[in-house]
Every structure is written in structure tokens, then in C-alpha cells.
Structure 1
Amino acid sequence: MTKSNSKVALITGADRGIGFETAKELGLMGYTVLIGSRNKERGQAAVNKLTGLDIDADTLQIDVTKRATIQNARDQIDKTYHKLDILVNNAGIALADDVLPSNVSDEVLRKTFDTNFFGSFAVTQIMLPLIKKSAAGRIVSLSSSVGSLDWQSHPIEGAPINPAYAASKNGVNALTVMFARELANTNIKVNAADPGWTATDLNGFNAPRSVEEGAKIVIKLATLPEDGPSGKFINESGPISW
């Protein structure tokens, strides 16, 4: 059975945190939300919570570091919905031993980039043919202010450097600009969102912002009107310098 009339949103890493909150808010707005999750059980548990709120939701097993799982998810979406209206690249990691450039390990750099950079790229590239079928496709990638080279050059006193995480998010910003350039003459908008320092399992819930606050800019960029921006790095206050 197909559901080609539904407005469909895929959120990776959506079984918890900002991803789950984004899925919930989009679901309450009437979107069919697809929970991308590495863990089948966690994904289904998230879907159960959403359906309890009368949200149309389903789960797709996606490991963003494994292209085969992304391609399989793409095929399932194509078969059921024929298109994808919103893609939120939310899945990401931050490792505890991401310290200073002088002593961060190759392993930490590679593992962080595999998820945050290459994972975001692979999901966007593989899902793009379905997004092109949407009347108003939107791609939102979760970034961070630490990914801004300007911010790194003028940091707040005491702010960590975190080279692996920060560099991977700067890479996400670069991909955002390049995809936006490629798609400039289409109805697709591509942006990077900075949710701010939000309490999630990524930081051991040690942050001042709630997931509801962190998801606000993601929702805004995912539902931009026709005259909205593209190729920007944005938080709640507006564009952030690269």
C-alpha cells in the first residue's frame, strides 16, 4: 500500500534527543515521520511514543556509516511514499577523548568524521532523488557553533576546542553550501542548523538548553516557505558566520 499523498519527513538518529523532538513536532504538524535509527528496538519504541500522540510514524533501520542500510531505507521510502519532503541529518557523535589537536588520535578523528561528515553526505546523496520528487524539498543538517571557523578564531573564554567534532561540523557546513549551490535552481532548500548547547546524551545531558528549544531552529528550516534561505548556517538568532 502506498501513501503518495503524505508529506514525509525522514530524521536520522531520531529515537531520542533533538531528533525525536523534531519528529514529534513535525508529526504534530501533520507530517508522516520516519524514524531513522541504528537500533531497531529503540526506533520502534520511539514510533510507539509518537503513535500514542496520534502521529503517523514508522521506523527505518539506518546506520549512517553503512551505505547499504541507507540505500535499503531509500528503497522502502520510494516503494511506500514515492518521494521525500524533508530530510533532517541529525545522527551524530561526540567522543569523550576528542581533546586537543596535538593529542587527538587518528581513530577518534576517523570515527567522528565517519558519522558526522561522511554519514550526513551519504544520506543526503542517496535520498536526493526522492527529495527532488517533492514539491518543496527541504534538507537540514545538524551543525554546531563550534564548527564555525570564525567562532574557533574568537571563542568564548574557556570554550573547548574538540578538533574532531568541530572539524566534522565545519565539513557539514561545507557540504551544505555545495549542495545548495548545486540545487540553487530547484525547489529544494539546503541549510545547516545550530541548535545551541542542548542537553542530550551526546554531552551527558550537561547543557542548559532543552530538546524543545534545540529543535526549534530545525523545525523552522525544515518547513521554510518558498522565499526562505538556502545555503545558510543558522541558529535561532539568524545566520552564523562560517
Structure 2
Amino acid sequence: MKKYAFVTGGNKGIGFEVVRELAERDVHVFLGARNEELGMQAVEVIGRDNVRFIQVDVTSSESIQHSLEQISKVTDHLDILLNNAGIAPDFDVAPLKMELGMLKKAFDVNFFGTFQMIQAFYPLLQKSERGKIINVTTDMASQTRFANGEAGHLNLLAYNSSKTAANSLTLTFGREFGEDGPEIFSVTPGFTSTDLNGNAPGGKTPAEGAKIIVNYIESEESYNGKLLDTNGIMPW
């Protein structure tokens, strides 16, 4: 059976590289992006027949439903949903100085967007022989690691807390899905230099970060309901 994947935020950074990696493995990939022009450009750069652009704004229920309708015209199942789209609006903003709107914006994308994508695409994923939902997370969303000083020094209330909340989706849906599937887990590629962090120096390249995610996508081992980094299971 032909494999199908949907990657949100697929027009750049880690998402783009995951699309490329999966396409090279003969997976039919729907490259999701909010901006049609940038999404189409990304598809052209990859230049493969098995990559198709799908417009999706994860903060919009209507947009998510439209993307589902478009994908359902091509396939009756989805094997991989990578919830990669995310924002970090609060670099250089102290928690006490943050405006409520900034916090809400982060949660709209990182938490509520991920929640809506899981609910909307669950029926297609359930029809896969082994459907997988992967939520891209961050080391800083591990409360244990952050408290212990093992996850960097960036005290980003909006980004970190919204990703921690998204991790709870992994745990909660993982328990609901159980052995019936699909499998759901969170993966952090670790510090990676992308537009998200202003291409901060010293991190992995997007291709290196993407490789970690793809390795878990291809793994035969079950990580349902788990939080993962390059070394395996992480603490919550």
C-alpha cells in the first residue's frame, strides 16, 4: 500500500527537510504551509512528483477541514501526520513583560493547532496499517529537564509552556488510542538553527534535525504516548 504523509510547516526548516527525506523514500508527501506562494516554491525546489502542496493554517478550523477534504480526494488513508508548524514569539521577552496576546498566539498555533489537526485527521490515520502522529517538541518543554538546567537557558513562557501543553496531547491521546492506534509521540530534534530562533548559531542544521524525526517515523518500535529526543525516551 502506498504511504501518505502530511507535514505542516513544510515550506522551510526542519519541516521542509522531513518532506524531502520522506519523498526520497517514496512516501507521497503533502507539504502543508499557510502561505501558498512559499508552499508552492518549496514543492518546486524539492522537484519530485510525489510531493504536493496543501494550504493549511492550523489556527483555522475551516482551513484544516479544507486541507482534509483536499487530501481525502487523493487517498482514503494517511500513514504519517507530522505536526511541525510552530511559533516562538517571545525571544527576548521576559515573562513579566509579556502581553496576553502573545501568549494566546503561541497556544493558538502550538497547542490548539496541534489539537485540531489530531482530531481532524484521526479517521484517515486510523485506516492506515500503522498510522503515526508525530508532534515536534523542544527540550525546553520537558519540565524535568528545564527545572534541572538540562534544556538550555531560554526562559520562554509562551513557547515553552505551549509546547509542554502540546506534550500533554501526546500523553492523553496516546492513552485514548491505546493498542488500536494510531501511534502518537513527541520528538525534539534538539537545538537546531532555523528561522524559529533567528538561525541562532551553534545548532544542528535543519537536515540533521529532520533526520532524528525521520528515524523515529521509520522505527519499528512503538513509542506511543512518549516524549523522545535523539537518545530515546525523555522525562516529562
Same fold flag (TM > 0.5): yes
Q: Indicate if the aligned counterparts of 1:191 and 1:221 stay in contact, CA closer than 8 A.
A: no
What amino acid is the match of 1:129?
P
Shift in CA distance, 216/157, structure 1 to aligned 2, threshold 3 Å: closer
- More divergent stretch after superposition (175-184 vs 203-212): 203-212
Gaps of 5+ in 1: none
Question: Does 2:195 align with 1:210?
Answer: no
Contact persistence 1:65–1:118 (CA under 8 A): yes
CA distance in 2, matches of 1:158, 1:32: 36
How far 1:46 moved relative to its partner? 1.0
- TM (normalized to structure 2)? 0.95
* Pairing 1:228–2:222 present: yes
Whether 1:238 and 2:232 are equivalent positions in the alignment is: yes
Which SS does the other structure have where 1:231 is aligned?
coil
1:56 deviation in Å?
A: 0.7
Q: Does 1:176 align with 2:170?
A: yes
Give 1:213 deviation, angstroms. 1.3
CA RMSD of aligned residues (A): 1.5
Pairwise CA distance, 1:96 = 4.0
SS of 2:73 mapped into structure 1: helix
Pair 156,232 (structure 1): closer, same or farther in 2 beyond 3 Å: closer
CA distance in 2, matches of 1:83, 1:164: 34
Secondary structure at the aligned position of 2:52 is classed as strand
Deviations along 1:192-215, whole A, 9 cap, x unmatched? Answer: 000111011011111421111111
Q: In structure 1, what is the equivalent of residue 97 of structure 2?
A: 103
Paired letter, 2:227: F
Does structure 2 conserve the Cα–Cα contact (< 8 Å) formed by 1:16 and 1:46?
A: yes
Amino acid at match of 1:35: L
Query: Which runs of no fewer than 5 residues in structure 2 stay unpaired?
Result: none
What letter is aligned with 1:22?
Answer: V
Q: Which residue of 2 aligns with 1:40?
A: 36
2:46 maps to which of 43, 50, 56? 50
Offset from partner CA, 1:123-162 (integer Å, 9 cap, x none)? 1110111101111101000000100111221115971110
The alignment partner of 2:184 has SS state of: strand
In 2 relative to 1, CA 121–157 (structure 1 residues): closer, same or farther, beyond 3 Å? closer
Q: Extract structure 1 runs of 4+ deviating beyond 3 A.
A: none
Quote the offset at 1:189 in angstroms.
Answer: 1.1
**Shift in alpha-carbon separation, 1:108–1:234, aligned structure 2, 3 A:** same
Q: Take 2:104 and 2:141, find their aligned partners in 1: how far apart are those partners? A: 17
Equivalent residue runs for 1:153-164 within 5 Å: 153-156=147-150, 159-164=153-158
Q: Tell me by how many angstroms 1:97 deviates.
A: 5.1
TM-score by length of 1: 0.93
- 1:163-214 Cα offsets, whole Å, 9 max, x none, are 1100001011100011111111214211100011101101111142111111
Shift of 1:221: 2.3
Q: Which of 109, 127, 142 is the aligned partner of 1:148?
A: 142
User: What letter matches 1:149 in structure 2?
Assistant: Q
CA–CA distance in 1 between the matches of 2:152 and 2:66? 44
Residues 1:161 and 1:26: Cα distance change in structure 2 (over 3 Å): same
Mapped partners of 1:222, 1:72: distance in 2: 26
Q: Is the 8 A contact 1:97 1:108 kept in 2?
A: no
State which of 17, 33, 45 in structure 2 corresponds to 1:21.
17
- Cα distance in 1 for partners of 2:117, 2:28 equals 19
User: What is the SS of the residue equivalent to 1:76?
Assistant: helix
Range with greater deviation from structure 2 (74-83 or 192-201)? 74-83
Moved more, 20-29 or 54-63: 54-63
Q: Given residue 210 of structure 1, which amino acid in structure 2 is its aligned partner?
A: T
User: How many residues are paired up?
Assistant: 235
